[in-house]
Each structure stands twice: as structure tokens, then as C-alpha cells.
Amino acid sequence: MSVTEKAKSATAGVSEQQITELIDSVPKGLLIGGEWVEPGPSFDVINPATGKALTSVADANADHGIAALDAAVAAQKSWAATDPRERGELLRAAFEALTARVDEFALLMTLEMGKPLAEARGEVSYAAEFLRWFSEEAVRIDGRYAVAPSGGTRLLTMKQPVGPAYAITPWNFPLAMGTRKLAPAFAAGCTMVVKPAKQTPLSTLALAQLFIDVGLPAGVLGVVQTSNAAAVSEPIIADPRLRKLTFTGSTGVGQGLIAQSATNVLKVSMELGGNAPFVVFADADLDRAVAGAMLAKMRNIGEACTAANRFIVHKDVCEEFAARLTEKMSALTVAPGTDPASQVGPLIDEAAIDKVTELVDDAVKAGATVTTGGKPLGGEGYFYPPTVLTSVPASARMFSEEIFGPVAPITTFETEEQAIALANDTEYGLVSYLFTQDVSRALRVAEALESGMIGLNQGVVSNPAAPFGGIKASGLGREGGPEGIDEYLETKYVGIAL
């Protein structure tokens, strides 16, 4: 598709009036103590399909952050004292309300983040599932009672909410990264202040209004979007009343936040960057491997921490795998996410285009071959085409850095040991994908891969019922699954003399 056609269809499928009404319906203030506060200063929210402002929202400063924390601290005791069933039912009501409004939330997300509408609908449903999962977990918080090994003393173990929490969320999954934190916090009995990414505050603001509408008490949730994340976050993290910090974003920012959390020894959860290997053995079902590769690479336009970043393919099947992947990648329709035909939307901003361009140019200079794509599309918005690179040398920067775009670099291996060594040759450890039909090999390699999650013959691992998270530089803690609520609970033990 030419750039002009792309520009013409910037809002194809959706009327300007529909967009205006939707944007107007979203609160633009800061949520502090159950009230929407309009402080005066604001910043623009940009539509990445056009590069133009959609609207502007209130811009929090350090005082607003502390005011939201004050409200969260004030609400903590009474929220923790609610019956688990009551917290569960509130989350369930939020699940029902969000599910009933999938299309509306999806359009809002596509407008501020760029992903195709079909994917945005998928994220809204995924985000809602965290509300449902943790509505069910709220009533399963329990403890233990045991006889001490030496007898006499009895050991009673109980779980209690950790206390007020602060969540910092990224722009790539604006809604799901929020509910993955809010839902377990609320289920556990914790209050939470959220700072959404500057690029995508609208999804969080609309979600906050939804929580108010289903009856969440004032102060249990605060929202402080800002153009200066550090200025708002540092005083909150330095405040001894805060007890928990949960972050999803880049490893560099996460490392700084862990250092800040040391002062008050906060309980921390960090979902950081990834550099996922996608390993295809010669015995793999290639149909499945190619379908899995499309999902693992192209979900969210490649802007996912779980995105396959390095394709490591056995030399006997590499040519066929690369040819089939190239065919599928080049057949995708690149268009604004609001266009019903869109399969690949814009990247988030100019800097993202520059980064992807730089990494592709570097690989080509080092000897890689481009089989499709390879150059930004230019024109209005931030579009980069699906790209496949073969014969990528190990020295290429894209093998050690997160690409965060629709680019699939392929290299080959000969032995299982080599495949494992290549896959583990990264400081990251979020997810690895593994394609083989040999059960023994699957288990052997899954055990040897250094990552928190493995996709075995599948290209997506995210599931609200499973513990999502990484090892090494990919983070600390788990979100989702039965493990997810533990991140918001402290364990207290009572030694009882009989």
C-alpha cells in the first residue's frame, strides 16, 4: 500500500464524530481521593497513526502524586477490612462492565497506541480476564496451621495485604498491564496509585471511571498521569507509607526504581525487557512453527516484551522456514489500526522508527540479507513494514537489544547444545519459544532455557491463569496465576505455646 493510500485511510472505518464523542467521554483529570482533579497544566496525547494530538490530559506534579498517596493511605485500613467476597464481587462487576464495552475501550486504545482494532479488542478481553481471575482469587487467600517439628509449639501462618502500592505501567499494553496489577492488589486488600505511560493515559483514565461506576470506594485507586515520570514517582517511592512498587517497562528504568525502593525496603515486582529466542528444531512441525512465529513476532506490531527477538533455526529447515515466514510477513496489510483491514499499525513514535531503522541498517551492514521490508514507510504516522532478515551474524546489535518492532532476524544452528547456548546468550530471561515434536528434547531444552516462561510449540504464553514474569534482567516477581496475588500479600507467622 502506498503512503498516500495509508494517509487517506487514517481513520477509515470509524467516523470523526464517533472518535470525538469517545474522546470527550473519557475523564482527563487526575483521580485523587475519588475525585477528578484538574490542576491546570496538561500534555497532549498523540495518535501514532497521524502524529497529531487526539486530546490533552491533566499533567500531575510531585504534590499530586503525594496527594494520591495520602488518599490511598487513608483508604488502606478500611479497604483491607472489607470481606474478601465483597472485593471479589467488585472485581467481577468491573469484569462484566469492561466486557460489555470491549469495542469502545478497543477503539480508545487503538487511537492512543496504534495497534489494529482486532488486537485492541483482544487486549481488552485479556485485560478483563485479570479482573475475573482475581475476583476468584480474592476468596482464596489462606494460611497454614502446623505442629512444630519438636512438638509443643503450634505454627500459625496468615496472609495480609502488604499495604498501599504504586504501579507504573507502559504504553504497549495500556489496559492489560494495568489490570494485571490493579486486580491482584484490590483482591488482596491493597490500595493503589497508578501512573500510566505518558503516551497512553486514556485507557487507564477510562478504566478508572469504570471502577468508580461499579462502586470502588474513594482513595482505593488513584491515577496520576504526568509528563515527568521521575518527578512524580521519586517522592512517592521515598515515602515510608508506601509498601509496594510494581513496574512494567524497560530494564534500565526498572534498575533505577529498584535502587530507589531500597531506601524503604519496598516489596517490588518488576516486569522488564526481553530478548526472546525462538528455536525451531529440524523435527518441528513447520506449519505450527511459522504460525507461532507470526504470533510471537507480530503480536502488538512487535512492540511486546514477549516478542520473538531472535529466530534460531536448524540449518536443515532454515531455508524453508525463512521462505514461508517471508511470504506471510509480506502479505500483511500495513494501515492505521482503525482501518478494519489493518494487520500492522504504526509504531508508537518517531524514536521507535529511528531505533528499528538503526538496528536493521546495522544488521545489513554486518552481512544480513533482507527478504522483505527493511525501510520505514515514511509519510504521515510512524509506519514500519514487516521485515525478515536472514544470515544475521551474532555480532548484529539486534541480537542483544530489544527490537520492539516488526522485524524478524534469523540465524542457524546445528546441534541442540548450540541452540541452547545461542538462546541463553543474553542478559534477559523473560520467555523462550521452542518448536520440536520430540517430547524428550522438548523437556530437556525447556529445562535448560534460562527464562521465566517457555512457549512449547506455541507463539503466545500470556494467560491470566499462569504466572507471567522473567528471570535475569527481565525482572522479579510474577503477575497472574495463583502466584499473582502473593505479590500483594505479606506472610505473618504466629508461634503459639500450648
Residues that bind ligand NAD (CB under 6 A): 168-173, 177, 195, 197-198, 229-230, 233, 248-250, 253, 256, 271-274, 305, 402, 430, 470, 475
| DSSP string for residues in 458-471 | -S----TTS-B--E
CB 404, min distance to ligand NAD, A: 6
Catalytic residue among 137, 271, 479, 487: 271
Q: Rounded to whole angstroms, how far apart are CA atoms 476 and 424?
A: 18
Specify whether 417 is catalytic: no
CB 28, min distance to ligand NAD, A: 18
Residue 376 to residues 29, 52, 122, 350, Cα–Cα distance (Å): 36, 19, 27, 11
Q: Rounded to whole angstroms, how far apart are CA atoms 180 and 479?
A: 6
CB 473, min distance to ligand NAD, A: 10
Q: Rounded to whole angstroms, how far apart are CA atoms 125 and 137?
A: 18
CB 166, min distance to ligand NAD, A: 10
Provide the β-strand partners of residue 495: 155
Nearer to ligand NAD, 191 or 200 (CB): 200
Contact criterion met (CB below 8 Å) for 232 and 60:
yes
CB 402, min distance to ligand NAD, A: 5
Phi, psi of 324 (to 5 degrees): -70, -40
Nearer to ligand NAD, 421 or 465 (CB): 465
Nearer to ligand NAD, 200 or 436 (CB): 200
Nearer to ligand NAD, 171 or 278 (CB): 171
Q: Whose CB is nearest to ligand NAD?
A: 249
Nearer to ligand NAD, 229 or 322 (CB): 229
State the cell numbers at 382: 510512524
| Bridge-based pairing state of the strands 192-195 and 165-168 | parallel
DSSP 47: E
| Three-class SS state of 340 | coil
Residue 264's contacts (CB-CB under 8 Å, 6 or more residues apart) are 237, 238, 239, 240, 242
Give catalytic residues, as residue numbers.
271
